[in-house]
Amino acid sequence: MISIKLFLLGFIICLLLVPLVKKIAFVIGAVDIASGGRRIHSKDTPLLGGLSIYIAFAVVSLFFTGEFDKLKFIIVISALPIVVGGILDDIYEIRPLYKIMFQLAGAVMLIVMGVKIQLLTNPFGTGDQFFSLQYLSIPITILWIIGVTNAFNLIDGLDGLCGGVAFISSLSIFFMSILNGRPMVAALTIILCGSILGFLMFNFHPATIFLGDTGSQLLGFLLAAISMVGTVKSATAFAVAVPILALGIPIYDTLFAMIRRKVNGKPILQADKGHFHHRLLDLGLSQVQAVVIIYIISGILGIVSIIALEVSSTNSYIILATVMAAIVLIGWKVGFFKSKE
């Protein structure tokens, strides 16, 4: 009942905020102009949608989750640089380096306030259950946060795509946190689910507002941060296989993009139309059909991630390796690594 309450609060608050955010976006110039190129929409559309998700998530997390828990304050506060950087990008289209700097600021805030990857689960099933990262803890945490943040940013190419995938990933982590006995993580993820769904009411095709970098980066950052403490029973440990499966599509699509650009002699950060959703559109699918297919795949990966959580560390890594091998093979067979401008 508490989870339903938190979900509904996030949903309703975000639902009420979106119309206001749309007006603000037009006033400050945070608008995506339909001008061809990689854009596939036909009319000017306000960005900044992520601001409504952040406000709803922050309000419900801070004021309606009951007992004091520093985790909710850390997550909400550390996301502020992401939101600020996203707003600036939605208005001015800032350079990638500046976006990384805002992401780095958020990651550093997390680390300074005590949220970082300190232990990795042992994949071999012998000796100690965890490996201590020691001095590698900080760089690995930063790499994870920035990597996942940008992965969600890159898949934001179709109406409802990034938000829907984030919803499914968040729901998967919610169930994991229940199984792990992590009530605050469960609260944060179910609030995020409700907030995302409230926004998706305006973002399903045809969308009347986009997430913008404010939203796509925010969702990636929140899920990266929450997954560090919600997928194992120890708050300091990190089960590599589980969150990589739960956050699957954005991570795999980003890896494919990096490999594709490297193989074809393109800059790794250069945008292209070779992402998974672009390929589905090329097959003749509509936006809605492409998004639904990716939802289904994300849902399957979410279920697999929950299974991986419940088996031994060795088996969870085997599951991850099997899934990744299958995805790479399929990607190679259908030409995901071939250049496509």
Token digits of residue 108: 């550093």
Q: At what angle do helices 137-154 and 161-180 cross, to 10 degrees?
A: 140
Over the stretch 53-82, which tens digit does the pLDDT of each residue have? 999 999 999 998 877 789 999 999 999 999
Is 310 within a domain? no
Binned at pLDDT 50, 70 and 90, residue 246 comes out as confident
- Whether pTM > 0.75 for this model: the answer is yes
Is 333 within a domain? no
CA-based nearest residue to 248, from 302, 291, 170: 302
Binding residue ranges for Mg(2+): 153, 213
CA-based nearest residue to 227, from 127, 302, 297, 122: 302
Q: How far apart are CA 10 and CA 212, in angstroms?
A: 19
Q: At what angle do helices 49-63 and 2-28 cross, to 10 degrees?
A: 140
Is 40 within a domain? yes
Q: How many domains is the chain partitioned into structurally?
A: 1
Is 316 within a domain? no
State how far the alpha carbon of 191 is from the alpha carbons of 8, 187, 222, in Å. Answer: 8, 6, 12
Is 157 within a domain? yes
- Torsion-angle region of 44 (φ positive above 0: left; ψ -120 to 50: alpha; else: beta): beta
Q: Is 12 in contact with 34 (CB distance < 8 Å)?
A: no
Q: Is 173 in contact with 189 (CB distance < 8 Å)?
A: yes
Q: What are phi and psi of 131, to 5 degrees?
A: -100, 130
Find all residues with CB under 8 Å of 16, minimum gap 6, and list them.
none
Over the stretch 101-123, which tens digit does the pLDDT of each residue have? 999 999 999 999 989 988 888 77
Is 285 within a domain? no
Is 218 within a domain? yes
User: Which domain, by its residues, includes 13?
Assistant: 2-239
pLDDT at 235 over 90: no
Binding residue ranges: 153, 213
Is 257 within a domain? no
